[in-house]
Structure 1
């Protein structure tokens, strides 16, 4: 039996049984390593070596978390929460439906901006969402729908728009690895290749609005007492203006230097120079940012160790090549199996960015041999990697929404974020990704 399939299954089953994701990743990695022919010592050594690959990501998240805390200290999130609450209080019961839609659209816009315009990724969620939980409770808004909205905003922009994280995913990783696999990418439009898969994500979002349209009750007392999120942050027109300037500065520097870290530092400097964040508060602010992102960072580090063990077993290549053997000359079956294998890999390691280098070296020659067009090959590899980002217990696209929505302990990571996003996004992605491979 394939060690990767078993390891992913063990990790997912343990997560569904409410075992912490880090523990589930470690047990899954050890199970897969032993089943893949590695000794216990070799498995643990490989896992530990893999942990170092996630250190850079964890440090990046810590810095982005510090910038996000600075934005929160400007009172921007509190201003949005106050504005939303005032709108609720001024409306009758029948008018809350419109306010629910406004809130969801706002969260969707911010989530999308966090990928392309202001690349702080998930760092905004634990700061923006908790102050809004009381508002969501008043609206009786199903948080599973909010999780689907946030996950859509975190994934779809990098799949389709080549700016910010999208520039890294589409240009630096997808196109670069496809080219290394032997495909000539001259003159190819990556947005054209990923348009249908992105449409699949949009379809899934529409279904989620239908699935979770009913109102859901949450304990008002718990929502209104969420620790620090319950404390109102003061804000003035000056602090909100500084926040806007910091956002613009971060975006400009990020585009100029092609560095999210430098962009975050530039935004932080704006806050510091303006006095919104005092110099003597800088240490505490960085500590807050790192604490906020600590759990996500540890899970991402553990996921890198899991991925290293899976690669060391050699069973990823075995799974892909055995699928290729079963395919024959059937292009339709080939596209479907490639997507499903990509789903299994990404579910395990939790990163679509890390999946592409694993699958591209095998997928590209195989797809070229089967006669897929260059655009279809790009679409296949990109979709196969993106599959599983939604719905993986170890993905930051699911960890982020849970970090904000579970601030009061009323939102389950597995059953309220992972399962809903898996059902609403991975199934449409398989269908639309397969269609793209057939028609492009």
Structure 2
């Protein structure tokens, strides 16, 4: 129990002190290992062995970065921004909510997850700055779209999440169906909607001025003579994007999808072969840091789970709460928050929590729907706000393309406050009334 709490606190405190998130997670992982009884060397070896768990995701991020740079090279993003300036100039709230809506679609209608962020967001940074939009509001909108749909709706990634909850609850002795999960998760999800509106229209409503510089990561197009006119290069670029999406959906591989898009960009001569090295270098610069954080986070999660520290913490926490009450539900939700903050994924937290929470909830009298709400909300808490979560790393990858958006203070802190607090409060309500 001590190992998990201390290691997560170390990660949070170091991150808040603006220590690079890679160092923060690395030190936190070693702390967790040592406090669990391992030597420093054994802790490091365990952390390194666990980094392979996110190798596919990390490679996906790198290739998406390269593809995003190629799309920027085509000049199509200039056309996009010019069109948006005409339509959305002065419509701050509508623009941010539109981004939240697009992010929601990435979880179900077009399940690309964070793949759209490095393609859509960097070209819009100039527009955000011209409209003096606080990027923390945009980060909140993106994280909402990446998280709220799978919390509430059994569609796309939401079906995977709800099916995971169902399987783990059934394996732990509770008879439920996939169709029951949304009934228990709807109230906590409504809390996220409240958090979104507070972030957009109250917390980050005031204009925030950022000095414009030329540090945006992108390759200057060699087709500037075409200005903002839609050309055949843009048609080919759209075709490459559609093919990349189609390949991803058919093969369920983000890597193959990105590779197909990259190949077509070269094939159609949108990006000349002579610029291949530059494109890859810029892509790594855009997404490489995010990819490496995911690798380190996977190692950290391995240290926490393989040492038994997480199971020990969950067991001790529920042992102090003997009856079905607000206090008992609160303890379980807070345990979920700590675990997910460390592991960085709601999906991976469900099996850990369900195995211990379900028998306990059944023994003290929580209803099946209340148990669903507790397990699902406990797993969802912490994903928004965790420095190691793709729900925060994804928004940062786009908003920090020009180096002006801090991962911790501009993404993690706002999303933690505006989503974990409502999830906790609305999760308690759900546990008590269902």
> Is the counterpart of residue 310 in structure 1 residue 327 in structure 2?
no
Q: CA deviation at 1:306?
A: 1.0
TM-score scaled by length of structure 1 = 0.86
Unmatched tracts of structure 1, length 5 or more = none
Task: State the partner residue of 1:114.
Answer: 106
Cα distance change of structure 1 residues 407 and 67 upon mapping to structure 2, 3 Å threshold: closer
Task: State the partner residue of 1:404.
Answer: 398
Structure 2 residue corresponding to 1:189, chosen from 173, 180, 184: 180
Task: State the partner residue of 2:413.
Answer: 419
Partners of 1:6 and 1:435 in 2: how far apart?
29
Q: CA deviation at 1:31?
A: 1.4
Cα distance change of structure 1 residues 128 and 233 upon mapping to structure 2, 3 Å threshold: farther
Cα distance change of structure 1 residues 412 and 228 upon mapping to structure 2, 3 Å threshold: closer
> Is the counterpart of residue 369 in structure 1 residue 360 in structure 2?
no
Task: State the partner residue of 1:164.
Answer: 156
Q: State the secondary structure of the residue aligned to 2:179.
A: coil
- Matched ranges for 1:31-110 at <5 A: 31-87=31-87, 96=90, 98=91, 100-110=92-102
Tell me if the contact between 1:120 and 1:264 (Cα under 8 Å) persists in the aligned partners: no
Partners of 1:170 and 1:268 in 2: how far apart?
33
Partners of 2:184 and 2:266 in 1: how far apart?
42
Partners of 2:344 and 2:166 in 1: how far apart?
21
- Matched ranges for 1:335-414 at <5 A: 335-414=329-408
> Is the counterpart of residue 146 in structure 1 residue 138 in structure 2?
yes
Aligned length: 428
Q: State the secondary structure of the residue aligned to 1:184.
A: coil
Q: CA deviation at 1:208?
A: 0.5
Partners of 1:26 and 1:368 in 2: how far apart?
38
> Is the counterpart of residue 200 in structure 1 residue 186 in structure 2?
no
7-16 or 27-36: bigger deviation: 27-36
Alpha carbon RMSD of aligned pairs, Å? 2.9
Partners of 1:370 and 1:264 in 2: how far apart?
49
Cα distance change of structure 1 residues 320 and 107 upon mapping to structure 2, 3 Å threshold: same
Partners of 1:403 and 1:176 in 2: how far apart?
33
Task: State the partner residue of 1:18.
Answer: 18
Tell me if the contact between 2:326 and 2:432 (Cα under 8 Å) persists in the aligned partners: yes
Q: CA deviation at 1:389?
A: 1.2
Tell me if the contact between 1:70 and 1:277 (Cα under 8 Å) persists in the aligned partners: yes
Q: State the secondary structure of the residue aligned to 1:188.
A: helix
Partners of 2:151 and 2:236 in 1: how far apart?
31
Task: State the partner residue of 2:6.
Answer: 6
Q: State the secondary structure of the residue aligned to 2:137.
A: helix
Q: State the secondary structure of the residue aligned to 1:116.
A: coil
Tell me if the contact between 1:72 and 1:128 (Cα under 8 Å) persists in the aligned partners: no
Partners of 2:397 and 2:251 in 1: how far apart?
30
Partners of 2:119 and 2:408 in 1: how far apart?
21
268-277 or 26-35: bigger deviation: 268-277
Partners of 1:70 and 1:119 in 2: how far apart?
22
Partners of 2:257 and 2:167 in 1: how far apart?
24
256-265 or 325-334: bigger deviation: 256-265
208-217 or 364-373: bigger deviation: 364-373
TM-score scaled by length of structure 2 = 0.88
